[in-house]
Structure 1
Amino acid sequence: MEKVERLLKDLQLSEAEKKSVRIGSGSELKGKTDVALLKAFGKLLLERNIRPEVIEQALGWIWCPVRGIECKDLGDNFFLLTFGQAAGKRKAMEEGPWTVSKELMVVADFDGSKTLDEIDFSFIPIWVRVVNLPMGLMNKSTARVIGDEVGEYMEMEADGEADGIVAARFLRLKVRLDIRKPLMRGVTISLEEGVEDRWCPLSYEFLPEFCYCCGIIGHTDKVCKKKKGKDDVMPFNRELRFIPPKKRGGNDGGRGGDGRNFFLSGTRRDGR
């Protein structure tokens, strides 16, 4: 409010310009209309501009297999996405990560009270695998603590167990990841007193392109401002990226994806 008041003072508005004009309703501003509920914004982290038809062809059939999506170009690789069905929007918002031409597509919910420049394109959902955990800690409580360290905890794959305990080689959980921050390579687990702390490496399913130098998603070490010397060891490497095997006869298309439909605790449904 203070910013607006300063702006109005500096402009030395006329009486006609000072008169406020009420436009729209609260539901329109908050994006709660039926039309707005099927919309979202997309931002493709790619230097060259890409046509909206490419987005529709790469992701539309995955998000809305029956009705597809409409993609409107807003310039500079920003897009307005209109989904043919509500389930498609939920999938775009809650699953992922999504890529087009191997570059990350960040999806943000429609907010009618903000300009495009005010929309936050900083977060993506992604499944994370935590290894080297004691079996007694393979549960939802541990997943929530680790998830909130890595990003914002969303859910955990419990392999159908009612008590949320998973007996597996890794703990699989979904987080909302802040792509402005360096990727975490692991977490240090503090156990009971007198027991040495344990290092638990992390890997990210369908992790998009990221910088081996600074660990930030969205650019590579070739263009990083913190570029290392030729003989320097990179702090990050490709071991952070985990690509689950495809479902037999399946096609992931432009999907990063959560893989819940065909991956349970790292074992394929065909037993392999």
Structure 2
Amino acid sequence: MEEITQNWKKLSLTEEEGRNLDLTKNKRASRFVLAAIFFMRHTVNIEAVARTFCPLWRTRREFEVNDAGNNIVLFDFELEADVEKVLLGEPWSYDRHLVVLERYDGSTLNFETAQSLGESIGVFMNPRDPSEMRGCNFMKVRVAVDISKPLCRGRRVTWDQDSDGWIAFKYERLSNLCYWCGLMSHDDKDCLIGIQSTIAPFRGSVIWGMA
């Protein structure tokens, strides 16, 4: 997937990629997130983690617990005061294993944002368990796309009035893909755009040599 990203960076943005997607309505400014790394060999059990820390932290409001993979857990709080209380109580441990907490900007990485991004390129497919979509620094979605069009490399987005950015897309389990035009109907060896771009410089060098 990194190879695809590097090759596609050479191309200019398509009209779809360059069109700003407004995500301000999806921003949950009232939520505060802590990322926790559990230093243990076996996979952490999210339900057991929630049962353990709820009575220990005694937060004023509820918080969500989401699995980010690789024994990283995201705690999504409603109140910043609860976050401060948890951090002041460090260090924390779980089943005698060290747990390291760090502030994490999860306000823009949520289900609503992922759904908006998915719908901007195709038909968003709702997962059975929304928590499966969340990663440490990414959101994972399933989208039915029109394969007669180039795959979208990402989208320009607007987080708020003073903040624009770019969200890169990565794809899993792709078959043939053309790095020149982004279509899945052929690979780069059979792409007319690629052939023309390599022939043009060659012809120029021949003419220069004959002169």
> TM-score, length-normalised on structure 2?
0.40
Bigger RCO (CA 8 Å, 6+ sep) = 2
More helix by share: 2
> TM-score, length-normalised on structure 1?
0.32
